Amino acid sequence: MKQLYLALLLLPAIGGLHAEASDKVSAQQFVDLQQGKTAFAGFRRAHAKGLCVSGEFRSNGNLQSYSKASLFQPGTTPLVGRLSIAGNNPAAPDLKAPVRSLALSFSLSRTEQWRLAMNTPPVMAVADPHSFYQQIQAIQAGPDAIKQFFAQHPESSEFLTWAGQYQPTGSFAAETYNSINAFYLVNAKGEPQAVRWAMQPTVSVAPGNLQGDNALQQEIATRIAADQVVFDWVFTLADATDDETNSTKAWPASRQQITAGQIVLTGSTAQLDGDCHAINFDPLVLPTGITATADPILRARSAAYAESYRRRAKEQRQGALQESSNE
Amino acid sequence: MNKPTQFSLSMRVLHWGMAALVMSMLAAGLLMIRSLDPWQLTIMTLHKAFGIIAVVLVTVRLLNRMRHKLPAVPNDLSALQKKAATASHWLLYGLLFAMPISGYLMQYFAARPIEVFGWFRLPAALQVDIYNYAVFRELHGWLAIALTGVIALHVSAALHHHFIRKDNVLKSML
Ligand code: HEM
Ligand code: HEM
Ligand code: HEM
């Protein structure tokens, strides 16, 4: 009996020591790097500038046999979303940002929630969080450093090809937003199917004559006020030869695609006045019927989002946003 | 006065089982909030599920405690020491409830349902309340520090009894 007690007690200590002995980047270091020298208190440490949108998902039922998640049954599910640009500055000029984003939250029931955070590139430049950290360091260090970084990371070739031909459009409504990371849909029989998805625009808008720091925000607010903004939610199904754990590689264009329905945006609000600011769009908040792959980038996101969320929630509670929201 | 010299077997098993569980929970908590490794999600999911087990176990443990006679405290302890020992035990019990409850409420206000070993899910708010999330997130962190401190004192006291005072206290729990 005594030996059993002792063994039980030593277990956590051994586990702890084992994991402690690593020189890897921590979630705290990652978020420190993202927020920069002086953080914008109360705001997200990444994708700080954005606006809240609301609307619904209109499901056509095409994914029902692939996933148990209730929102894939035919019908509509309300959503809260957020359109944003990459970067840590909540007042950054919209048109300078290299990446545009869409995040969605489906509050399906008290026991089922789904959060999604998607970006314009279809792939990552690197396959793990530690290289991603170095990539951000290189971006902050300037053009020479980033050139050197990409030279040392041949896995970034697909990303660079995309970046070379990508033309920013004149509207948040005209961009394609990609899951980048893969997930499994799980059906009632428990069969998993690896998928990626994209929100595909239904309008095209030329860059045209946008002006000012808030050009994209003003454009989308005006557009939604006039008419609903619609995206097709298109899933790509991996086959057995595809690697669902490497987000630097797209799957062949010949893979089966299924449109699950449409995302329809019908309202928008400044982020500090809307429901979206309080939400942590952690993509690992998943409903029954969807699970995470072992993609190291995907798996790194939860802890980093939680650290950013913890910091900004504490600051917000201490009153950090009061001035900004009275502007 | 016929007090036993030992805690009952059920109390001993619950004591050591929970001691291992709680120390694993503390280690898991501290590691998982730092790690960007692929196992983070797995440990986080287990942390929440075992945290729910912990709150059930501590309830069972207190109910079980009422059914049993407890061993006598050594007579050579001063009244103050006896009070300190009792107080530290109730502090431990209090923290054993406060830890999982604050963890659950943090997730509740962040609108994140808790998955318990794929058996069932515990409900969360439908809408996020970031102010209350902040309260319980920070509380969970502070309580963890307090619990670590009280456990350190508790273990030192047990070893002190055994090796310095050479009394029956540690043996009563073995
Ligand atoms: C290791 C990889 C990544 C790290 C460490 C990371 C980190 C972060 C952090 C800290 C936030 C702020 C969270 C908050 O305070 O609410 C954030 C937001 C966001 N991230 Fe990531 N991210 C990663 C990968 C990705 C990828 C692959 C995508 C796109 C598919 C993405 C899309 C987004 C979006 C859209 C937001 C803003 C969500 C919102 O509107 O609240 N991130 N990220
Ligand atoms: C005996 C019970 C528990 C113990 C000893 C414990 C311990 C810990 C510790 C030490 C941390 C790290 C905190 C920090 O350093 O700030 C932590 C974090 C956390 N705990 Fe627990 N916990 C317990 C129960 C629970 C329960 C029941 C839940 C939820 C159902 C939970 C959810 C969490 C979450 C989500 C985090 C991470 C928060 C973040 O990443 O921001 N814990 N826990
Ligand atoms: C190596 C570690 C540990 C040792 C050597 C130890 C030893 C002991 C001993 C000897 C007692 C009986 C004290 C007395 O009768 O006055 C006791 C009681 C107790 N211990 Fe521990 N303990 C350890 C870890 C823990 C941990 C981690 C917890 C918290 C989860 C804990 C919670 C308690 C509680 C609540 C009591 C009071 C029992 C009661 O009267 O109902 N112990 N421990």
- Per-position pLDDT tens, chain B of length 174: 468 889 999 999 999 999 999 999 999 999 999 999 999 999 999 999 999 999 999 999 999 999 988 888 888 888 888 899 999 999 999 999 999 999 999 999 999 999 999 899 999 999 999 999 999 999 999 999 999 999 999 999 999 999 998 888 898 999
A196 lines ligand 1 (CB under 6 A): no
Mutate to test the interface with B, among A317, A318, A322, A325 (most CBs of B within 10 A): A317
> A46 phi and psi, to 5 degrees?
-140, 150
Q: What is the Cα–Cα distance from A308 to B52, expressed in whole angstroms?
A: 26
Sign (positive/negative) of CA torsion B21, B27, B29, B32?
negative
Atom of ligand 3 nearest to the CA of B71: 15
Which of A27, A130, A313 has the CB atom closest to B33's CB atom?
A27
Q: Looking at CA atoms only, how far is residue A209 from chain B in angstroms?
A: 38
Q: What is the Cα–Cα distance from A243 to A240, expressed in whole angstroms?
A: 8
Interface membership of A19 toward B (CB under 8 Å): yes
B114 lines ligand 2 (CB under 6 A): yes
Residue among B101, B140, B148, B151 whose CB has most ligand 2 atoms within 8 A, to mutate: B140
Q: Looking at CA atoms only, how far is residue B27 from chain A in angstroms?
A: 6
Contacting residues of A for B30, CB less than 8 Å apart: 16
Of the candidates A231, A102, A288, A106, the residue with the CA atom closest to the CA atom of residue A179: A102
SS3 label, residue A97: coil
User: Residue A268 is encoded by which pair of tokens?
Assistant: 């928008």
User: Residue B76 is encoded by which pair of tokens?
Assistant: 């050579």
Contact (CB<8Å) A30/B36? yes
SS3 label, residue A48: coil
User: Residue A49 is encoded by which pair of tokens?
Assistant: 């500038």
Å from CA of A286 to ligand 3 middle: 39
B65 lines ligand 3 (CB under 6 A): yes
Strand partners, A117: A103
Q: What is the Cα–Cα distance from A4 to B19, expressed in whole angstroms?
A: 12
Residues in chain B: 174
**How many Cβ atoms are within 10 Å of A25's Cβ, its own excluded?**
22
SS3 label, residue A113: strand
Contacting residues of A for B27, CB less than 8 Å apart: 12-13, 15-16
Mutate to test the interface with A, among B11, B128, B162 (most CBs of A within 10 A): B128
Tell me what pLDDT residue A327 has. 43
A50 lines ligand 1 (CB under 6 A): yes
Residues 21..60 of A with a Cβ closer than 8 Å to B: which? 22, 24-28, 30
Q: One digit per residue, pLDDT tens: chain A, 327 residues?
A: 556 565 656 665 555 555 554 568 999 999 999 999 889 999 999 999 999 999 999 999 999 999 999 999 999 999 999 999 999 999 999 999 999 999 999 999 999 999 999 999 999 999 999 999 999 999 999 999 999 999 999 999 999 999 999 999 999 999 999 999 999 999 999 999 999 999 999 999 998 888 999 999 999 999 999 999 999 999 999 999 999 999 999 999 999 999 999 999 999 999 999 999 999 999 999 999 999 999 999 999 999 999 999 999 999 999 988 765 544
* H or E segment and range at residue B15: helix B9-32
Residues 120..159 of A with a Cβ closer than 8 Å to B: which? 129-130
Domains of chain B: 9-173 (1.20.950.20)
Which residue blocks in chain A are alpha helix, DSSP H?
2-20, 27-35, 129-141, 143-152, 157-165, 215-226, 296-317, 322-325
A309 lines ligand 1 (CB under 6 A): yes
Q: Looking at CA atoms only, how far is residue A113 from chain B in angstroms?
A: 7
* H or E segment and range at residue A54: strand A49-59
SS3 label, residue A85: strand
Label residue A253 exposed, middle or buried (CB < 10 Å: 0-12, 13-18, 19+). Answer: exposed
Tell me what pLDDT residue A1 has. 58
Interface membership of A108 toward B (CB under 8 Å): no
Full DSSP string of A178-222: E--S-EEEE-TT--EEEEEEEEEESS----TT--STTHHHHHHHH
Tell me what pLDDT residue A19 has. 52
Which of A16, A111, A317 has the CB atom closest to B27's CB atom?
A16
A103 lines ligand 1 (CB under 6 A): yes
In CATH terms, A2-326 corresponds, of 2.40.50.140, 2.70.98.30, 1.10.10.10, 2.40.180.10, to 2.40.180.10
Contacting residues of A for B38, CB less than 8 Å apart: 294, 296, 299-300
Atom of ligand 3 nearest to the CA of B171: 10
Residue nearest to atom 33 of ligand 1 (CA): A117
User: Contact at 8 Å (CB) between A303 and B40?
Assistant: yes
A116 lines ligand 1 (CB under 6 A): no
* Rounded (10°) angle between helices B9-32 and B40-67: 160
DSSP B6: S
